[in-house]
Amino acid sequence: MQSNYKADRKVRLQWRILSLLMGAYDFITVCGAWFLALLTRFDFSYSTVVNKESLYFAAYQKIILPYALFTLLVLVLFRLYKSMWQYASFTELVRTLEASLLTSVVHAIGITLLCRDSLPGGRMPISYYLGGTMAQTAFLVLIRFFYRFIRHERQHRSLNKEALGRVMLIGAGDAGQMILRDVNLAEKPENKVVCIIDDDPNKWGRYMDGVLVVGGRDDILVNVKKYHVDKIFLAIPSANAEDKREILNICSSTDCELKQLPGMYQLISGQLTVSAMKDVSVEDLLGRAPIQADMSGVFAFINGKTVMVTGGGGSIGSELCRQIAAHNPKELIIFDIYENNAYDIKLELKSNFPGLKLTTLIGSVRDSRRIFQVFDTYRPQIVYHAAAHKHVPLMEDSPCEAIKNNAIGTYKTAYAAMVHGCERFVLISTDKAVNPTNVMGASKRLCEMIIQCFDAKIKEGKARDIPQLFTHLGEENADKDGTGRVFENIQTEFVAVRFGNVLGSNGSVIPLFKRQIAKGGPVTVTHPDIIRYFMTIPEAVSLVMLAGTYAHGGEIFVLDMGRPVKIDSLARNLIKLAGFKPGEDIKIVYTGLRPGEKLYEEKLMSEEGLRKTDNDLIHIGNPIPFDHDLFLVKLSGLMDVAYANKESCIREKLMDMVSTYHPVDGGASIRSEGASETEKAAS
């Protein structure tokens, strides 16, 4: 302990000695800089400058020592004797320049005011002011950055160049140049760019910062071998999706580590660095351009409002929270039953949006007392209802839980929103609600029908006719005073947004494939031709929020999912990204479609039409008419069956309420592990 104290004391002493030496250097060079300026004015004639009759030298002598001491004081105030100059950066440079310019102005004003009566023309020569300022600044900057330069050169010489990563840089434009410069100027180099690829023939055979542009995309494979490349950096943020996809597919056939730039923003803002590059993901190889949505309308919709996200810790819910937080809400309420996920997104948002008013609450949408308490306390104006059980095979095994959580949970949350003045309630639905073949899909179709019932009753002025479903004594009864005033002037707009599979969400196919690849295979795909619509989580959430701004109540918005993607292609691309060859290193096994499983997912029911919105990516499905009063009566009976855990009755009641529901194998659940994983892949 004592030895550590002595070592620390020694380091502090060394630092103080260095600061004193630097102060002495500054004092001498400040005096010398202004003398040099005077000497330069008289063509370096020393005898002329120091002549006893020289009025200029007399003025210099009168002010220089007080000025040098003043300069040291300013440098102290600017903390220029406390900086770690081995890590000197732009910040230290700016502070040094500011201090030097400030003191130079004081010098010019001081010598002019104090000596104007004795100086020819009342001032020093203009070259004295300019030359002294430049010389002083140069001397002050030189000593402070000279140490870093020497240290940088020593590090570069001591490093074993063979240990550096050998990088192929794709893109010889502005982005590529910035990345190349960042690699070359790294404090602790880890990479070395050995060749550059660019599709512009005019750049072939030419050099950028000493590195040769060896050819276009067709030359990638041959030059990976020629230059022994082990990393490829893709630096073409402005490339269209098709070109980027083709280049990445070529690169993925090598054994190189792939990284790419996140987008144009970093190029525009000048923030392109190697650390800003991201790993190439399967989304980049999907086979379609990313969906871009104009979010300007969402800013106006969210701004200044209290927004609640149920299931806010889940994959969709957490992304909703991220994008809502970026749109300046008055308050964001995260509501989730799983505390770990809720806590994680809370910490992330607190870090990224320190000014955000954020409330994180734990509870279940099945608990109407808790839901009423939350709405009564916080009065959210907008609700995004993402809380749901979404795992297809698990819900086949536990159908009552699907009804309790998805259907009844949605009903209770919607009811609480209605009677507490919520302006808009947006249900997150799924394309599995279309002609459902499983309990999960049927339960989500029930959710859509629930919000259609609420909307219809409100528009008819019959909100009080909507029954409040209880599974307990009902202490949170909305109409506590029995006057019915709570149902007057209800304005809540209920809408649903339906979309397909989301890459990277909990329970998506990608984690399954990655686990299978990590085990050495095989990767299981149900059918070589099975296709699904895919979106990334940010894409889907952006369109969900945008659709919410178009709502007038009762709509089922259908998102344009782009082109469908073959699950087989998805599996092969994941194998490539893992550094293996599909069919050779990792086998692909086709397990076959199960009875009733679709080769494709549908976004609309055949009975529904399709209306356009102002956005080409968002459409409205015309609702299928049904008897709302009869539906509400049956829903109450379905709730009783679900809470009695009568699994044998659930599917029969679902078929009675959802006419398009046709369960696979009459509802027999698939319990083998292999079948469940394949079902998960399809979901």
Q: What is the pLDDT of residues 40-78, one digit of tens each?
A: 888 888 888 888 668 888 889 889 999 999 999 998 888
Specify the pLDDT at position 599. 64
Specify the pLDDT at position 596. 41
Sorting pLDDT into bands at 50, 70 and 90, what band is 267? Answer: very low
Is the predicted pLDDT of residue 371 greater than 90, yes or no? Answer: yes
Largest CA distance in the chain: 115
Strand partners, 6: none
User: Which has the minimum average pLDDT: 350-364, 378-392, 594-608?
Assistant: 594-608
Closest C-alpha among 239, 236, 241 to residue 288: 241
User: Which has the minimum average pLDDT: 128-142, 382-396, 595-609, 665-679?
Assistant: 665-679
Specify the pLDDT at position 674. 33
The encoded tokens of residue 495 equal: 């809408």
Specify the pLDDT at position 333. 96
Sorting pLDDT into bands at 50, 70 and 90, what band is 600? Answer: low
Which one has a higher pLDDT value, 284 or 543? Answer: 543
- Are 237 and 267 in contact by the 8 Å Cβ rule? The answer is yes
- Are 531 and 565 in contact by the 8 Å Cβ rule? The answer is yes
Query: From CA 613, how far away is CA 360, in angstroms rounded?
Result: 34
Closest C-alpha among 145, 146, 69 to residue 103: 69
Q: 670 Cβ partners below 8 Å, 6+ apart?
A: 393, 396, 594, 664, 676, 679
Specify the pLDDT at position 553. 72
Is the predicted pLDDT of residue 452 greater than 80, yes or no? Answer: yes
SS3 content of the chain, % helix, strand, coil (to 5): 50, 15, 35
Specify the pLDDT at position 13. 67
Which one has a higher pLDDT value, 294 or 41? Answer: 41
Specify the pLDDT at position 449. 93
Q: Residue written as tokens 């007038």?
A: 552
| Residue-wise pLDDT tens digits, 623-633 | 778 899 999 99
Is the predicted pLDDT of residue 413 greater than 80, yes or no? Answer: yes
- Are 416 and 368 in contact by the 8 Å Cβ rule? The answer is yes
Indicate the SS3 state at residue 583: coil
Query: From CA 145, how far away is CA 381, in angstroms rounded?
Result: 56
Specify the pLDDT at position 669. 34
Is the predicted pLDDT of residue 451 greater than 50, yes or no? Answer: yes
**Residue spans of alpha helices (H) in 525-646:** 537-549, 567-577, 628-643
Closest C-alpha among 625, 660, 652 to residue 434: 660
Sorting pLDDT into bands at 50, 70 and 90, what band is 264? Answer: very low
Which one has a higher pLDDT value, 97 or 591? Answer: 97
Domains, the chain, with CATH or none = 13-158 (no CATH), 162-280 (3.40.50.720), 296-503+534-564+602-666 (3.40.50.720)
Is 238 exposed, middle or buried, given 0-12, 13-18 or 19+ CB atoms closer than 10 A? Answer: middle
Specify the pLDDT at position 290. 59
Specify the pLDDT at position 89. 66
- Are 366 and 409 in contact by the 8 Å Cβ rule? The answer is yes
Specify the pLDDT at position 349. 93
Is the predicted pLDDT of residue 14 greater than 80, yes or no? Answer: no
What's the mean per-residue pLDDT of the chain? 80
Query: What average pLDDT score do residues 403-417 get?
Result: 95
| Residue-wise pLDDT tens digits, 458-508 | 999 998 889 998 766 666 788 777 778 888 889 899 988 887 766 666 556
- Are 219 and 156 in contact by the 8 Å Cβ rule? The answer is no
For residue 676, the number of C-alpha atoms closer than 13 Å in the C-beta half-sphere is 12
User: Which has the minimum average pLDDT: 194-198, 365-369, 389-393?
Assistant: 389-393
Indicate the SS3 state at residue 609: coil
Sorting pLDDT into bands at 50, 70 and 90, what band is 11? Answer: low
Specify the pLDDT at position 566. 78
Q: Residue written as tokens 């969402």?
A: 298
Is the predicted pLDDT of residue 265 greater than 70, yes or no? Answer: no
Sorting pLDDT into bands at 50, 70 and 90, what band is 668? Answer: very low
Sorting pLDDT into bands at 50, 70 and 90, what band is 339? Answer: very high
Distance of CA 329 to the CA centre of its chain: 18
Sorting pLDDT into bands at 50, 70 and 90, what band is 603? Answer: low
User: Which has the minimum average pLDDT: 566-575, 578-587, 588-597, 633-642?
Assistant: 588-597
Specify the pLDDT at position 595. 41
Is the predicted pLDDT of residue 666 greater than 70, yes or no? Answer: no
Query: What average pLDDT score do residues 511-525 get?
Result: 85
Distance of CA 255 to the CA centre of its chain: 28
Indicate the SS3 state at residue 208: strand
- Are 346 and 312 in contact by the 8 Å Cβ rule? The answer is no
| Residue-wise pLDDT tens digits, 552-585 | 777 787 777 666 777 887 788 778 777 677 888 8
Task: Say if strands 358-362 and 588-590 run parallel, antiparallel, or are unpaired.
Answer: unpaired
- Are 93 and 31 in contact by the 8 Å Cβ rule? The answer is no
- pTM for the whole structure: 0.60
Sorting pLDDT into bands at 50, 70 and 90, what band is 284? Answer: low
Q: Can you give 466-526 as a three-state secondary structure string?
A: CCCCCCCCCCCCCCCCCCCHHHCCCCCEEEEEEECEEECCCCCHHHHHHHHHHCCCCEEEC
Is the predicted pLDDT of residue 341 greater than 80, yes or no? Answer: yes
Query: What average pLDDT score do residues 352-357 get?
Result: 92
Residue 198 CA: distances (Å) to CA of 168, 276, 567, 574: 11, 21, 32, 26
| End-to-end Cα spacing for the chain | 60
Which one has a higher pLDDT value, 235 or 334? Answer: 334
Q: Residue written as tokens 């027999």?
A: 668
Is the predicted pLDDT of residue 32 greater than 70, yes or no? Answer: yes
Indicate the SS3 state at residue 383: strand
Specify the pLDDT at position 101. 93
Q: Residue written as tokens 């005033």?
A: 485
| Residue-wise pLDDT tens digits, 129-180 | 999 999 999 998 888 777 666 665 665 555 444 467 888 999 888 888 888 8
Which one has a higher pLDDT value, 175 or 267? Answer: 175
Specify the pLDDT at position 386. 93
Specify the pLDDT at position 287. 52
Is the predicted pLDDT of residue 294 greater than 80, yes or no? Answer: no
